[in-house]
Structure 1
Amino acid sequence: MSERASGRLLHTGNAVVDVVLEVPGLPERGGDVLATGTSTTAGGGFNVMAAAARQGIEVAYAGAHGTGPFADQARAALRAEGIKILLQPCADLDTGFVISLIDAEGERTFVTSPGAEAALGPDDLDALAPAPDDVVYISGYSLMYPANRAALSAWLPGIDAAATVVVDPGPLADQIPTPTLELMLARADWWSCNRREATMLTGLNDPDDAARALARRVVRGSALVRTGADGCLLIQDGALHVLPGYAVAAVDLNGAGDAHTGTFIAALIHGLDPLTAARHANAAAALATTVRGPATAPDARSLREFLRTREPDGSK
């Protein structure tokens, strides 16, 4: 997948900055704790975009961004990956940030401070005209913000019917307002989520049952449910496909889902069939867990070499 494809990924989500603090444990209410490590990095929607761009497709960020130090850091990261920035900065807001507390057991606790990325205007998307071979990505995080939700809900029904829409509801899937959720289910060509999110949306604990139930609600298309180290489930034309993961020595699970989603989209844009695209996504997610950090998706060469030498069951 090294040659530049004709289609592009239009990402309408939120590129923010992650402020990551490693702590021995969470402080009690009113207490304090000394962090043992601190880092700041671009995060949020950036991770999916970076994963896709590293597979050699054109990626454009269609979300809002601000003016200030966090916005500067997010834009620098986007440009370093060759990602185009479509909108002008908001003059009176900085880009938001996420405080991520990682305790000694690896559990992550988040606090999000929204910024300009949560203030998508009604006219910001008017100039976007997705072509038939483009993929439009919509994040559930965007749908939690009233301004973004209104802008996306007004814009999405009018885009080219041939353009592919991928909706990832995210961990707040059950909080998306019902009318908005139904609109997304009606237009999505691919509904991409993890096992927990599929359960939240269907009430079914068995991942196979949840995936089938979810796919029945996607009016136009299909569903992909990530099952962690086990790989993913793909439902297309009513058929359930179980695609196993790759056995690796994982050191950090953070960002594996984003690597999966970005690689899957890139593979579709490159013209791969969905089953092959999902296998590539499984491999990219596995590789991402072997490196510490959030945006650790492999580039096209590394992924190609991994697929050449490894089988999904990890036996080779």
Structure 2
Amino acid sequence: MSKKCLIIGAAMLDIIMEIDRLPRSGEDIYAKAQKMTVGGCAYNAADIMKHFHAEHTLFAPLGTGMYAEVIEEELKKNGHESAVKSGRMDNGYCLCMVEADGERTFVTLPGIESVFEKEWFDSLNMEDYESVYVSGYEIEGAGGDVILDFLERSPELLVYYAPGPRISYIPAEKADRMYSLHPVLHLNETESLAASGADTAEEAAERLEEMTQNTVIITMGAGGVLLREEGRTSVIQAEKAEVADTIGAGDSHIGAVMAMRASGADFEKAVRTANKVSALVVGVKGPTLTKEQFEKGL
């Protein structure tokens, strides 16, 4: 049996509201539609790995409370199980406001997923794993140091790090510790500029490669994906997509990259396949694909 990827992060409740535009301060607007689903960066990435039949463990804590109950029920329905349960507090949720052009804005209430505990990792048999995924949301949170401690104790793991939109809020000390682990870095163009202080994605990729000494993947929407590997930069063309919303696009992309790499694909082939997957995800409402949508699209 092949070794697994440990997917560390959140399974949260996503409350998705479709609106014409974001309201101004003090304004009262109507939502056109609402959908409630399970999201969270780790869950979204794990769901794509499930479609690829890639071996993985979802290490996203389930707490105790109203949101946790809904999330656990949805996980079971969708063929997932979390390796962590805690009675400390409830899971968080995210209000996702989707404008008419598909752009999304998040308001997140953190929960159990922001307070990782050392004891949760003690149950893992590290011989089962060859790689690990980590989201920036959890590194920023109060449990971020616990996650970093675990990664530093497990230098044999290949780290995939997706810092996400909170990249500018992650303390420099935590960022430095993460970069010292030589992660494969996955982020979008805006995040890459914020992380590197560069003016262009190309320059950002070079700087970030120097910082991590590993591969850098920068998604640029319709502009494709910039791949920086072993001192060489290439741009891999995006797939055409009709955008319903952009929720989960980045999560699905890194999930596909990890699944393809686990199957032996090189980074260029992995990114090309990931581009197809993320194009499918932005074409549906919400962050995940059904089995039928995935198989038809690929």
Question: Of 150, 153, 156, which residue of structure 2 is paired with 1:155?
Answer: 150
Q: Is the 8 A contact 2:104 2:246 kept in 1?
A: no
> Are residues 1:280 and 2:276 paired?
no
Question: Of 109, 114, 127, which residue of structure 2 is paired with 1:113?
Answer: 109
CA distance in 2, matches of 1:21, 1:155: 37
Question: Of 43, 47, 51, which residue of structure 1 is paired with 2:48?
Answer: 51
CA drift of 1:262 comes to 0.5
Equivalent position of 2:180 in the other structure: 186
3-state SS, counterpart of residue 134 of structure 1: strand
Q: Is the 8 A contact 1:141 1:169 kept in 2?
A: yes
Describe how 1:142-291 pairs up with structure 2 within 5 A.
142-146=138-142, 148-159=143-154, 161-219=155-213, 221-291=214-284
Equivalent position of 1:313 in the other structure: none
How many residue pairs align between the two structures? Answer: 296
Question: Of 77, 91, 94, which residue of structure 2 is paired with 1:95?
Answer: 91
CA drift of 1:87 comes to 1.3
Q: What is the root-mean-square deviation in Å for CA atoms of aligned residues?
A: 2.2
Q: Is the 8 A contact 1:229 1:286 kept in 2?
A: no
Gaps of 5+ in 2: none
Amino acid at match of 1:73: V
CA distance in 2, matches of 1:174, 1:234: 22
Which has a greater percent of helix?
2
Q: Is the 8 A contact 2:11 2:113 kept in 1?
A: yes
Q: Which moved more, 1:30-39 or 1:290-299?
A: 290-299
* Residues 81 and 6 of structure 1, relative CA distance in 2, 3 Å threshold: farther
Amino acid at match of 1:212: E
Question: Of 4, 29, 34, which residue of structure 1 is paired with 2:30?
Answer: 34
CA distance in 1, matches of 2:260, 2:118: 31
* Residues 132 and 8 of structure 1, relative CA distance in 2, 3 Å threshold: closer
Q: Is the 8 A contact 1:287 1:297 kept in 2?
A: no
Equivalent position of 1:12 in the other structure: 8
Q: Is the 8 A contact 1:13 1:63 kept in 2?
A: yes
CA drift of 1:132 comes to 7.3
CA distance in 1, matches of 2:201, 2:152: 30
Task: State the Cα deviation string for residues 104-143 of structure 1 (Å, max 9, x = none).
Answer: 4544332211111112112211222434753201110001
* Residues 150 and 80 of structure 1, relative CA distance in 2, 3 Å threshold: same
- Identity of aligned pairs, percent? 28
Equivalent position of 2:59 in the other structure: 62
Describe how 1:67-86 pairs up with structure 2 within 5 A.
67-86=64-83
Amino acid at match of 1:125: F
CA drift of 1:300 comes to 6.2
3-state SS, counterpart of residue 250 of structure 1: coil
TM score, norm. by length of structure 1: 0.86
3-state SS, counterpart of residue 218 of structure 2: strand
Q: Which moved more, 1:272-281 or 1:125-134?
A: 125-134
* Residues 297 and 230 of structure 1, relative CA distance in 2, 3 Å threshold: farther
CA distance in 1, matches of 2:257, 2:79: 19
> Are residues 1:134 and 2:133 paired?
no
Gaps of 5+ in 1: 307-316
Q: Is the 8 A contact 1:57 1:269 kept in 2?
A: yes
3-state SS, counterpart of residue 119 of structure 2: coil
* Residues 125 and 31 of structure 1, relative CA distance in 2, 3 Å threshold: same
* Residues 284 and 297 of structure 1, relative CA distance in 2, 3 Å threshold: farther
Q: Is the 8 A contact 2:12 2:38 kept in 1?
A: yes
Amino acid at match of 1:152: I
TM score, norm. by length of structure 2: 0.91
Amino acid at match of 1:237: E
CA distance in 1, matches of 2:286, 2:68: 20
